Amino acid sequence: MIVDSHSINTIRNNLEIMANNYDHVFWLDSCNQANPYGIGEYALLVGLGAKSELELTPIDFSWGAVQEFIQSTEWRFFGLSYELKSKTNQLESSNPSPFTWPLLSMVEPEIVVAIKRTGEIQLSGISLVTLTHPLSIEVPTDTSVTYDDIKSSMTKAEHQEKVLQIKKEIAAGNMYEMNLCMSHELDNFHCNNPFQLYQQLIHASPTPFSSYVKLKEKHVLCASPERYLSVQENTLFAQPIKGTSKRFQDENKDAASRLHLANSIKERAEHIMIVDLVRNDLSKLCVAGSVRVEELFGIYGYKHVNQMISTISGQLSDSFNFVDTLMATYPMGSMTGAPKYIVLKFIEALETSARGWYSGSIGYMEPNGNMDSNVVIRTLLYDGKQQSASYSVGGAITFDSDPEQEYEECLLKSKAIRLLLDANLR
């Protein structure tokens, strides 16, 4: 059924009110941003409640349990930790983490509301009459946060020294490129309304793969511009991001920044290595000769940054299998580097904190077998029970990387979250 814009606004407002009353929430919002290369049809996709749930830790993890859970022909939403690499690549992490979150969480919601860009709406577990009848309750507005301090896993000097170490490894032929990340932990963190804080985040920094996830006390506030994988009618798509430049209010400066990113030899070299890695990952799942680059070096502008994005596609050789897909492609190359398995070991050695859900993925599977998912970046993670929060940033290091510029890029990528925290600090 098709609904008009006024009805959609009422539905969104009602869903915001309802979301505050559920222990399980998946809110996937395109923020009216055009997805790169036009893939994906949903403007807003919301799952509330849990008819069934699967949470797997390193101790009780079972691919068989995952396979059994996804056999359902209903909507399924999922969140994946980066540390799932221990099961896809047999690489354990010994670095400390502020959270004890599962490697994988899956939910079959009680209510699903899917609004397409065309205005068509699909519903499960709720009627349109209920959704379009304005609720008398107002959306909570208090988004104040408190915390003691912010502790970075690396100082500026330590980050720059690690960049130099990576460059030495590249010069020695041990790798081609590595994504180096650092975390920022907020002790004794409390937020009155994480969901509304997320709404503020995406208002300030709208992105096509934004998402809010609530799993009881666990909250993920994500303003991601990056797609991990999408399956649309037996076609597999990946859209890695590599390459960032600053946005400017001045049109001439902004155009110059975009042009510099598009023509940067360093950024293009960094980008093409990941495109080749992703092409190789997809070839494990696709018909021989079907993997192709649909768009190379695309430049897309967001609120604070320009991003270089490519689109790779391939025709699946067999019916889509979620487990096989993760085994072939996870973690995503844009958050690791190349060659992937070697770089995963260096990441463990050089980074000083476990990534957890940062650089993981949030997504969904439809009843018709289609799937879509993001890369968890530009994200605040909050555990209400442990009273701790964190956000992480990173960037790809190549032989041509400048340590000072790499650190400044990390600051740029964390700008939206830092401004959000500053604006709501009480």
Q: Which residue has the higher pLDDT, 216 or 92?
A: 216
- Mean pLDDT along residues 255-284: 96
The residue among 161 and 303 whose pLDDT is bigger is 161
197 or 136, greater pLDDT: 197
Query: Which helix H or strand E contains 407, and what residues bound it?
Result: helix 403-413
User: Which percentage of the chain shows pLDDT scores above 70?
Assistant: 100
CB neighbour burial string for 382-394, b if at least 16 within 10 angstroms, e if fewer: bbbeebbbbbbbb
Residues 6 or more apart whose CB falls under 8 angstroms from that of 54 comprise 65, 66, 69, 104, 105, 106, 107
CA 11/CA 19 separation, integer angstroms: 12
pLDDT (0 to 100) of residue 4: 86
Q: What is the mean pLDDT of residues 245-262?
A: 96
What would the mean pLDDT of 298-303 be, rounded to a whole number? 93
Q: Percentages helix, strand, coil for the chain, rounded to the nearest 5? A: 35, 35, 35
The reply to whether the predicted model has a pTM over 0.95 is yes
- Indicate the pLDDT class of residue 12, thresholds 50, 70 and 90: very high
Q: pLDDT category, 73, cuts 50, 70, 90?
A: confident
pLDDT of residue 275: 97
For the residues 337-343, what does the mean pLDDT come to? 96
> Does 69 score more than 80 pLDDT?
yes
pLDDT at 183 (0 to 100): 97
For 19-41, what is the mean pLDDT? 90
Averaged pLDDT for residues 110-127: 96
137 or 168: which leads in pLDDT = 168
Burial of 319 per CB tally in 10 Å (0-12, 13-18, 19+): exposed
More confident residue, 56 or 98: 56
Percentage, residues of the chain above pLDDT 90? 90
Instruction: Please determine, for residue 34, whether its predicted confidence score (pLDDT) is greater than 80.
Output: no
* pLDDT the model gives residue 38: 81
| More reliable by pLDDT, 272 or 94 | 272
Cis amide bond preceding 403, omega within 30: no
- Catalytically active residues are 226, 242
Give the pLDDT band of residue 107 (cuts 50, 70, 90): very high
What lies within 8 Å, CB to CB, of 220 at 6+ separation is 79, 211, 212, 213, 214, 357, 362, 376, 379, 380, 381, 382
Calculate the average pLDDT of the chain: 95
| Residue 368 confidence (pLDDT) | 93
Q: Residue 334's pLDDT is what? A: 96
Quick one: average pLDDT of 211-218? Answer: 98
Please report the domains of the chain, with CATH numbers, ordered by start residue. Answer: 5-137+147-424 (3.60.120.10)
User: What was the pLDDT predicted at 138?
Assistant: 79
Task: Give the SS3 label for residue 154.
Answer: coil
